[in-house]
Amino acid sequence: MPNYAYILLIPLQPLATFIVLGLFGRKYFKTFSGTIGTVSLLISTIVSFVAAIQYFFVDGKVNGIYQKIIAFKYTWLEFSPNVSIDMGIIVDPISVMMLVVVTFVSLMVHVFSLGYMKGEDRFATYYAFLSLFTFSMLGLILSSNIFQVYIFWELVGVSSFLLIGYYFEKPSAVAASKKAFIVTRFADLGFLIGILLLGFYGGTLDIGILIERLTAVQSPEYTAMAAAGFLGVSALTWALTLVFIGGAGKSAMFPLHIWLPDAMEGPTPVSALIHAATMVVAGVYLVARLFPVFNMDAAALQVVTYTGAFSALLAAVIACTQTDIKRVLAYSTMSQIGYMMFALGVSKYGGEDGLGYMASMFHLFTHAFFKSLLFLGAGAVIHMVHSNDMKDMGGLRKLMPVTHIAFLIACLAIAGIPPFAGFFSKEEILLAAFHSNKLIYGVALFTAALTAFYMFRLYFSIFWSKESTVQSHGEGPLSMKLPLVILAACAVGVGFIPFSSLVTSDGEALETHMDITFSIAPVGLTLIATLLASYLYKKENDKPAKLAASFDGFYQAAHKKFYVDEVYLFITKKIVFPLVGQPIAWVDKYIVDGFMNLLASITAKISALIKGLQSGKVQNYALYFFSGIAALAVLFIYLWK
Amino acid sequence: MNLSLLILLPLLTAVTILFCNGLKQVRSVALAGSVLQLALGIFLLVVYWQERNTGNLSPMLFEFSVTWFAPLHINYHIGVDGISIAMILLTASVVVAGILVSWTMEKLSKEFFFLLIFLSLGAYGFFISLDLFTLFFFLEIAVIPKFLLIGIWGSGKKDYSAMKLALMLMAGSALVFVGLMGVYYQTGSLDILQISQMHIPLEVQKFFFPFAFIGFGIFAALFPFHTWVPDGHASAPTAASMFLAGISMKLGGYGCLRVATFLMPDAAHAYSWIIILLATIAIIYGAFATMMQTDLKYINAYSSVSHCGFVILGIGMLTETSINGAVLQMVSHGLMTALFFAAIGMIYSRTHTRMVAQLGGLLKVMPFISTVFVIAGLCSLGLPGFSGFVAEMTVFMGSWQNTDTMYRLATILSCASIVVTAVYILRAAGKTVMGPITDNDFLQLTDARWNEKLAAAILIIGIVLIGVAPFLINQLIGPGTENIFQQVGKAITLK
């Protein structure tokens, strides 16, 4: 068995950085903290690449199949001899792939932030939080125990909360951070109950054993779980759907997506790392991690498919109407994650049928590069114009040539134009959808065209359109340009990685053949959408406004994000607070506590009555004495008979 | 080790305080005494481990017994297991932290510190008692100082709160006393270990169990007898709030477990559904009630009602894991709430307000205190890495082993409270420490002083230690809860 215990170093490195910067950063290394964080992460990244090379090309493969290796395991909290939370490290194709993605993108963001966040008062805190996030995310992807996933899941959530609320004096940032945390917490409740169900029926929390037991049709665990039900739905479907709800919360799937656009209140490099490339794909990763079990339950997979496809479409429509460039990117993230989700949903486990799984992971991989590039590019633009709004931009191509080219490459990649990275992964997804569900294929195709449209709308609005009025102060330091260049190179190159022979559902290489005739429809539609966008937005004109007016009601609805936020506000502000919270507070004050006070005052009244009897006056005592005798005499006389 | 030292040391400290003059002398003595006590607690932990490692498996270690009043079979019988040691360490940490945050208590300082130490004496005695009368004796010692602490050093409607707290806790004690007497007349013994070997008839258990359980339950904020908690905590001075939540409420939980459930397990089974019902109500109801509060102390007090519900829930679910979770939650809640009250006290002493609406942006002017506040909040909402997560998850895992639909429903509802908790914690933290500064006078305020930093550090170390390495405390309390579970005798374990 090859030794991968050194992988432990990868998450521990950022953890150490977090502790050091968190405790001493503010005082001792105010300006060095960025360097400390970046160098520390550089080491993690190098180790990740070494691990990836060792796994994929040296000894990960046995008899043509990539192995699942438990590199490390420690019992953290034991509930009973078989059921325990273990801290473990799993090494398999997806965890190694994610290792590379997370450390690499995080490194780019660390470098970019050196320039972007320079001079911030809480520079050390920023890097401490970034390190905390990186640690948690790495812990999540390496988890070998489902409860371990939950632990890091929550830690990722809190680091996201801390980073969205980084500008804590801005009320909107505080509100956004709260919203992100609470919405995902609500989803996590589903995840938690799903874990309780899986743990109870599976008799273990270890993912490997769980998969082993629940994928064998004859096993007592599977039989029990498929037979037990609640409200006519089997326990297995419940458990998987609940786990998926947790994933949908983090991955911003409808209707739990409302936190993601608001999360853009955080510093832009943070959006690039957390809300584009890594944390938001945790839900996809979770489903992929448990995919063999999902494969056993068609109903749960259907939920995944339709939620994913609907979110992809909805987000793409909304993205066409937004004017805040980060929000456009946020909706595009949601849309692309929807792609990854339904690709998993239409997939099966193993062999040729596992195409969707492979495609989903491939898209996750390529998306991480071009989406973080888009965000970092947007960050550079915002750094220049000090605004998030498209209306304040235009004509920036001359002022920021590097950003312009990088951004253009990223747009081509996300739109799926060959030979950029997004083309390859999107094509596989479309192919998988085509073979299993025509409706989903149709939605996917339409969404692909919309994607090209809104991305080029964004591109032309920022870099072309009107002449720039911005006072240029240079495109920014090397630390900001370098990550853009590197990521742009990735957005061009990573599509050529032979992904299907590396990461598949069962570890066995998958033969994929690129069919030119199949590509005609999506690429053709994409090109038309791109041309349409250039016709509308390349020069400043009134055509977009007319177009919006012709879709009047629908445009307004999409612009207002289909009023999903309003529904949530209604539920919380008009139902939960006044109809649940206030009555409970009232009952507590007036009924429960009122009853206690009543008891006390009755006691006090009775004692006030009785104390009159002990007045100390002999005449009164004599009176009581004789009236008592009289009363007793009367009683005796009557009772005697 | 002679356990009586645990009582003698605070007694000595308290007496010494009486001979001191001025705040400086008094607080130094109090601090020295409490730090020594903490050291003693840690020493106890070490010798306990050594003793266990030599293979001593008896349920209680370091037992000592001497006849106190022979005609009534009253013995001064003491001994500890892992659960008691966890409670002792909790008490010792809270006492040190409480004394540190009261460092500048000018008003009647001698009496104040005397009462604090005296209260802790009662708690130590309670946690090591193996004789029902001794246990009750120390329980009463721990009640009376609270009345004075709130009545004299409190704020707001302190007279009402002090009276309310004293009356309700006295009522609780009276119920406990009836329960204990019932056990005594049935078995002729007051010795906990002896009684646990006898069998009390089910009818007798069913009659006396409610007295003991509700009696102790009042201390542990059992719904609907929790109403002393908000008023009592809100009116108490900071250290007293910390002691109330960190120590006094634990007396109740410990009593429910060690006395009511351990000695009358059949009745615990019979009434389990009522206990669970009340606990679930407390958890949900407490959480929603917290959401509507506007005063930081009320927020924390109501959230204590909700969090103590997990202790009751864990006991009521009667599985080994859930009982383990109940003990973990007691320790965790004690540390976390003490930390929360300490942070609120630090904020209040500077801004002179506890109203959420009037506070804002404190992170900018007092980063340390604000960070402490946020850490306490994150622990309260069950963030992994802090003790609250470990305790709550253990309770959930244990509760889930009961397959009955109603029990499942209770577990799910209790799980759902983590969302409500997140709402009220983030609302409070988002308004108080984050956001714009609401009052320009805040800009002049200073951050924590050394004593406050030390107090927070002690509690945070405890919280993080449990949260990061739960296997340590699990090993400590494991044999104790196993012992109780065997008594409960219902062999449900995870498959």
DSSP B36-62: HHHHHHHHHHHHHHHHHHTT---SSEE
pLDDT at A641: 60
pLDDT mean for each 10 residues of chain A (641 residues): 85 92 81 88 93 88 84 87 88 92 93 87 89 94 93 93 90 90 92 92 90 86 81 87 93 89 89 88 93 90 93 91 89 93 89 87 92 91 84 81 90 88 88 88 91 90 78 78 91 86 83 77 86 80 77 77 80 81 83 82 83 76 85 83 60
A interface mutation test: which of B404, B460, B494 has the most A CBs within 10 A?
A: B494
- Taking contacts as CB-CB distances below 8 angstroms, the residues of chain B near A81 are 493
Q: How far is B22 from chain A (nearest CA, A)?
A: 36
Mean pLDDT of B35-44: 94
Chain A residues within an 8 Å CB radius of B430: 165, 174-175, 177-178
Can you give the pLDDT at residue B363?
87
Which residue, among B197, B467, B182, has the nearest Cα to B339 in the 3D structure? Answer: B467
Contacts of B280 (CB under 8 A, 6+ apart): B309, B313, B410, B413, B414
Query: Which range, of A620-624, B257-261, B368-372, averages the lowest pLDDT?
Result: A620-624
Predicted confidence at residue B494, as pLDDT, reads 32
| Both tokens assigned to B318 | 């009667």
The residues near A187 (Cβ < 8 Å, ≥ 6 apart) are A245, A246, A247, A248, A249, A250, A256
**pLDDT value of position A636:** 84
Q: Is B384 on the interface with A (CB under 8 A)?
A: yes
Report the percent of chain B where pLDDT is more than 90. 50
Q: Is the pLDDT of residue B491 over 70?
A: no
Residue type at B429?
Answer: A
Distance from CA of A436 to the nearest CA of B (A): 36
Mean pLDDT estimate for chain A: 87
CA atoms B367, B369, B374, B375: torsion sign? positive
What does the pLDDT look like over B72-125, one tens digit per residue?
888 899 999 999 999 999 999 999 999 999 888 888 888 899 999 999 999 999
Tell me the Ramachandran region of residue A403: left when phi exceeds 0, alpha when psi lies from -120 to 50, beta otherwise: alpha
Return phi, psi of residue A366, to 5°: -70, -40
Contact B255, B216 (CB under 8 A): yes
The answer to whether residues A368 and A101 touch, using CB atoms and an 8 Å cutoff, is yes
Q: How confident is the model at residue B495 (pLDDT cuts 50, 70, 90)?
A: very low
Residue among A189, A577, A600 minimizing CB distance to B418: A189
* 3 state SS of B198: coil
Kindly state the DSSP code that residue A324 receives in the 8-state scheme: B
Please judge whether A182 and B422 are an interchain contact, meaning their C-beta atoms are less than 8 angstroms apart.
yes
Whole-number Å distance between alpha carbons of B478 and B82? 7
**Sign of CA pseudo-dihedral B154, B157, B161, B163:** positive
Q: Which residue in A456, A463, A447 sits closest to A535, CA to CA?
A: A456
Q: Which residues touch B59 (CB under 8 Å, ≥6 apart)?
A: B81, B193, B479, B480, B483
Chain A interface, mutation test: which of B225, B332, B412, B423, most A Cβ atoms within 10 Å? B423
Confidence of residue B217 (pLDDT cuts 50, 70, 90): very high
Q: Which residues of B touch A169 (CB under 8 A)?
A: 361, 364, 434-437
Whole-number pLDDT of residue A79: 86
- What is the predicted pLDDT for the residue at A14? 92
Contact: B471, A185; criterion CB under 8 Å? no
The full DSSP string for A224-285 is HHHH-EETTEEHHHHHHHHHHHHHHHHTT-TTS-THHHHGGGS-HHHHHIIIIISGGGHHHH
pLDDT tens per residue across span B281-312:
999 989 998 988 889 999 999 999 999 999 99
> In whole angstroms, what is the distance from residue A607 CA to residue A612 CA?
9
Chain B: residue whose CA lies nearest to A193: B412
Nearest CA in chain B to A23: B368
- In terms of CA atoms, which chain A residue is nearest residue B224? A592
Which H/E stretch holds residue B242?
helix B238-243
Q: Is the dihedral of CA B213, B214, B220, B221 positive or negative?
A: positive
CA A385/CA A399 separation, integer angstroms = 11
Give the distance from residue B408's alpha carbon to the nearest chain A alpha carbon, in angstroms: 10
Judged by CB atoms closer than 8 Å, whether chains meet at A165 and B471 is answered as no
Residue B96: which domain range? Answer: 5-494
pLDDT of residue A1: 64
Q: What is the pLDDT of residue B130?
A: 92
Task: Tell me the nearest-neighbour CA distance from B412 into chain A, angstroms.
Answer: 7
pLDDT, mean of residues B403-414? 89
Q: What is the pLDDT of residues B311-324, one digit of tens each?
A: 999 999 988 899 99
Contact at CB, B227 and A592, closer than 8 angstroms: yes
Sort out which chain B residues have CB atoms less than 8 A from A158's CB and list them.
Answer: 378, 383
Give the nearest partner residue to A79 out of B164, B394, B436, using CB atoms. B394
Single pTM value for the model: 0.91
The count of domains in chain B is: 1
Chain B residues in contact with A596 (beta carbon < 8 A)? 164, 168, 225, 227
Nearest to B255 by CA among B166, B147, B175: B175
Q: How far is residue B252's CA from residue B18's CA, in Å, rounded to a whole number?
A: 30
